[in-house]
Structure 1
Amino acid sequence: MPAPDVNTDRLKDDLRRKAEALGFDVCRFASAIAPWTEGDRLAAFVEAGRHGDMGWMETTLERRRHPTAMWPEARTAIVLGLNYGPETDPRPELEDLSAGYISVYARGDDYHEVIKGRLKTLAGQLALRMEAEVKVFVDTAPLMEKPLAQRAGLGWQGKHTNLLSRELGNWLFLGVILTTADIPPDAPETEHCGSCTACLDACPTRAFPAPFQLDARRCLSYLTIEFAGAWPEEFRVATGTRIFGCDDCLAACPWNKFAKAAQEGRLKARAALQSSRLADLLALDNAGFRALFARSPVKRIGRDRFVRNVLYAAGNSADASLVSPVQALTVDPDPVVADAARWALGRLTA
């Protein structure tokens, strides 16, 4: 509960100013205790098997159903957004078939590291002022950030299921502070997609069975990042040169006409990750992989999974100069890598 002398309107204004000083683009407030239906939607998603091999979604399902299922004492959610928009539409980069495409969000420093320290700073100031408990979250705990963001008024979950803002487009990282303090909520946002289906039409694997629904098993972001095994043939071809993530549905959204390029220097693309040559990436051993992707979100999938992705891209490149490095990987110790190399070699020599 807030202290008797706390003016909550002034508190919210002060926190917004401090959030802006820390580099956040938006800071809004939502109730953490109000009922919602998003937990039922998540349960239906898992029951249908659309989470694929992400077993952690099933094991933490009950804790994900509602913010208070994870932390019963939580009363308020402070939701913050940090823009990571690219300088230009990244989709034309896919035309260079000798370069691997890395999702915009992963071209700079790991956003978890960029955001978490700032959240802790803001949360610490709130805790002192309100004499309240706080916890911070950046996409790693069983907390449904996007529904909270919609409830706080940052934006809405578009037909591609990602958060979409009228002011910032959909290139937006989220961070959440849960607190035991009671702070009046902001007005929620409503859906503004209308009849547009640009994001659904742009998906190269048709991963959306219906608007506002995703089947992760068909999503290239899931396949390149979360899935550890060998891919079905149709997805190996459909990935093109995408080797870590996929931005097609995000980049296609018309609301991005209001988006702006990221201002945070640590989130800007490194040159080495914006146009990475497939030939160089195929040569990566474990040490080389760790060195190239130090401080990057890419590092968490490891060399083997990453090189598997690069081999699928090589198989789609029609670049005869890749035959030799691909052939060398047909005897890779990792069986999935070796399988991907044989597939790519077959495509390159057909």
Structure 2
Amino acid sequence: MTSENENYTEILHWLKGQAKELGFSDVKISDLDLTQEVPYFQEWLRKGHHGQMHYMSRHANLRANPNDLLPGVVRSICFRMDYLPRVKDDNNVNHLTEDFRSKELLQLKDASQAIVSVYARGRDYHKVLRKNLLVIAKLLEEKIADLKYRVLVDSAPVLEVALATKSGLGWRGKHTLNLNRQAGSMYFLGEIFVDIPLPVDEPVSNHCGSCQDCIDLCPTKAILAPFQIDANRCISYLTIEHPGSIPLELRSLMGNHVYGCDDCQLVCHWNKFAKNSTLADFDVRNQLDCSSLEEVFGWKKEDFDSKMQGSAIYRIGYERWMRNVSVALGNYLRSEQISVSQKSKITELLKNQYGCISELVDEHIAWALNP
């Protein structure tokens, strides 16, 4: 006679096979006891390090109590999905990137380039993960009668890095992201909360050692100390979540980032093991891996809406996009790389957009024009 535990183990083995077919790289199980994590989260909120992400504090109690999200929940099935884009050779054949970091770091040094975080160059990951997790959840529901579940992809207040760390998907790096010895940190996390006691996995040990390159090389010094980030200074927060004027003292430190920032990941030595996605969803769209600031600043609203439809970037809207590019162009004008003729061209481009979009964009254009 098969015991319940043996049955759950068999289901878990089947589940991992299904997940792999849907583009997930790893699956681990965690319980929902977050008592060790909650005090750190509450202290982070108390210090105001969440910036204007008011939803973080508004639903803080739900992050501490997963049972309030799904009554009866006892496990989180934690999923990892690698997102480095596939690369096509001259024969249009997909292959894996040997070391994406070298290319990214070179491009970062070119002040004329518009730098978009790698994860956002393809389709919106929320849609991809949610769709595939729902497929898995429905299949699981067919196997387990009266299963209660909830699929989570940034769609509910959950301490997902804490759950991923607790499950053994990786350890928490000093930049606060989940890190894996075989895959670095270039992956998405997703969860399915369930009310069945699947066997839990053990956490893995931390392998950052004495390295603190991510802290030392953060352009805005947003990583205050190991495992401590002030979102108010983080380029990802400033270009994506922050709704208003970018603080003056941070603009010159943002370089050519126009959406997100991967700097702390690019310098992380574990990311030499980062994996390419198996899904076409994360293939680069609209040349977001090699577009110039001049090119993207020339987009009209209808261009932005058309090109960014289905992208995570679409969520920030045209105004914030142009705000971000204005700052990057200001930094390009201030760089030693720009020629006299290009400086004149960029200056004219900025002047032509002044008064065309909004007061917020005008403020950043004015800053760009007045080094």
Query: TM-score, with normalisation over the residues of structure 1?
Result: 0.94
* 1:123-138 equivalence runs, <5 A: 123-131=137-145, 132-138=147-153
1:47 aligns with: 46
Q: Which residue of 1 aligns with 2:245?
A: 230
1:159 aligns with 2:158: no
Which amino acid counterpart does residue 222 of structure 1 have in structure 2?
Answer: Y
Partner of 1:67: 66
Residue type matched to 1:345 in 2?
L
Q: 2:195 aligns with which of 165, 180, 190?
A: 180
Which residue identity lines up with residue 175 of structure 2 in the other structure?
H
Q: SS of 1:205's equivalent? A: coil
Q: Which moved more, 1:275-284 or 1:141-150?
A: 275-284
Q: Deviations over 1:282-333 (max 9, x none)?
A: 2222211111111110000000011000000001112412111201222134
Q: Distance in 1 between matches of 2:34 and 2:307?
A: 45
Q: Any conservation in 1 of the 2:28–2:78 contact (CA below 8 Å)?
A: yes
2:354 aligned counterpart, secondary structure: helix
Residue 9 (str. 1) matches residue 9 (str. 2)? yes
Amino acid at match of 2:203: P
Question: Which one-letter code corresponds to 2:13 in the other structure?
Answer: D
Give percent identity, aligned residues only: 35
Q: Name segments (4+ residues, structure 1) moved above 3 Å.
A: 2-6
- With normalisation by structure 2, the TM-score equals 0.89
Match of 1:110 among 124, 129, 148: 124
* C-alpha displacement of 1:69: 3.6
- Whichever residue aligns with residue 346 of structure 2, its letter is L
Q: Which moved more, 1:181-190 or 1:209-218?
A: 181-190
Give the match for residue 369 of structure 2: 345
Write the letter of the residue equivalent to 1:114: V
Structure 1, residues 228-260: CA drift from partner, whole Å, max 9, x if none?
111122211011100000000011111112222
Question: Which secondary structure does the structure 2 equivalent of 1:77 belong to?
Answer: strand
What residue number does 1:58 align with? 57
SS in 2 for 1:178: strand
Partner residue of 2:31?
31
Structure 1 SS opposite 2:222 = coil
Supply the distance in 2 between the matched residues of 1:311 and 1:220 (Cα, whole angstroms).
Answer: 15
Residue identity in the other structure for 1:53 = Q
Q: 1:339 to 1:5 in 2, by over 3 A?
A: closer
Corresponding residue SS for 1:276? coil
Matched, 1:258 2:282: no
Q: Answer whether contact 2:286 2:307 (CA < 8 A) is retained.
A: no
SS in 2 for 1:173: strand
* Structure 2 counterpart of 1:13, one-letter code: H
- Are residues 1:210 and 2:219 paired? no
Find the aligned partners of 2:22 and 2:156 in 1 and give their Cα distance: 22
Deviation string 1:25-83 (CA, Å, 9 cap, x unpaired) is 00111112x35321211111111000011111111111111322432311111001000
Matches within 5 A, 1:79-118: 79-85=78-84, 87=97, 88-89=100-101, 90-118=104-132
CA RMSD, 1 decimal: 1.7
Q: Counterparts of 2:191 and 2:275 in 1: how far apart (Å)?
A: 22
1:294 and 2:293 correspond: no
Residues 282 and 257 (structure 1 numbering): CA distance in 2 closer, same or farther, change over 3 Å?
A: closer
How much has 1:105 moved relative to structure 2?
0.5
Name the CA distance, whole Å, in 1 between partners of 2:237 and 2:181: 26
Aligned residues: 345
Structure 2 stretches lacking a partner, 5+ long? 86-96, 334-341
Mapping of residues 297-316 of structure 1, within 5 Å: 297-316=312-331
Distance in 1 between the 2:115 and 2:6 partners? Answer: 50
**1:186 corresponds to which letter in structure 2?**
D
- State whether structure 2 residue 280 is matched by structure 1 residue 270: no
Whether the 8 Å contact between 2:319 and 2:357 is mirrored in structure 1 is no
Equivalent residue for 1:200? 215
Amino acid at match of 2:150: K
